[in-house]
Structure 1
Amino acid sequence: MNLNALEMVAQIALIIGVPFVLGIWAARRFPEIAAKAQPWVKNGSLVALLIFIVAGVSGNASYFVDYIGVVLLAVFLHDTVALALGYFCGAVTGLNEYSRRAVSFEVGIRNAGLGLGLVFTFFDGLGGMAVVAGWWGIWDIIAGLALATIWSKRRARKAVPA
């Protein structure tokens, strides 16, 4: 398999960088409009991600059916380890509870849209890769919402001084 690194960087910049820069620019240039648009953009981006994930998984449904057990287990274990690693790295470095939680999400939640985009652009939509990236997106939403709900009901503990 031969990958063009510059092409991949450009693709990542388009998928992640351009919307990020445009969002920051719009929020600074037009704060009132950005504030009104924020709920629509947030919900619209979630719907777009879900459509992208469903398209990726449904287009490779046979792989999903054939490898569902392995995919579910691998994604679950990977997410669990990544979320815990982020949280405990924050604890070891003396971060307060809210920062630990933020680091946990930063380490544990991946960008499934980016993953699917790269799979379809550089790997010809290889079925197994698309199924894993698609399921990661679905599982990240489930695990992220569950963990956020649990943490929203628990008061943050004070960090132990380093």
Structure 2
Amino acid sequence: MTHTLKLSTFDIWGIIMQARAVAYNVRRKELIEQDLTPEQAGILSILHKGKNRIITPALIAKEYLREPHTISVILKRMEEKGLIALNKNLTRRNMIRVTLTEKGDAARADAFRLDRTSKLFKNLSDDETKTLYSLLTKVMANAAEALAESESDANRDLSIFHEYDNKIQSENFP
């Protein structure tokens, strides 16, 4: 008799969160030896891949799926360590360009040895690794879509309040 395991969304969510937590800690401990955080290593990778483009904090936030203020704090710390340079655009003073320093590029190369992190996938075949990547990419796309829907719902709901406020204000202050 074959039993089919029926998983709820909550079960799947739980295992994703547990896997993320343990994987993050493996990566974090691996990078501590290099005085980096996983977030800093990710930003170094973005800068390396985009070395022929103008990279701004806003672009990093978008690519790394983080809030701009979070990225700004991380970038300041990275600049203090000498990993990156933050340069103001002379024509558009509100635009900052982020560039990788030699020290940052060396740190990026060291950070991507992935000795311990690669052990997370040691029991997966190449096909399973590709399937995992594909499935997680789909989950991420669905999450981004759900987030966009919830933000548009929030904006729509707020617009109702604004319409109501405007109506009340026009009635009370002709």
Whose Rg is larger? 2
- Settle same-fold status: TM greater than 0.5: no
User: Which structure has greater helix proportion?
Assistant: 1
| Higher relative contact order (CA closer than 8 Å, sequence separation 6+) | 1
User: Which structure has greater strand proportion?
Assistant: 2
The TM-score, its normalising length taken from structure 1, stands at: 0.31
The TM-score, its normalising length taken from structure 2, stands at: 0.29
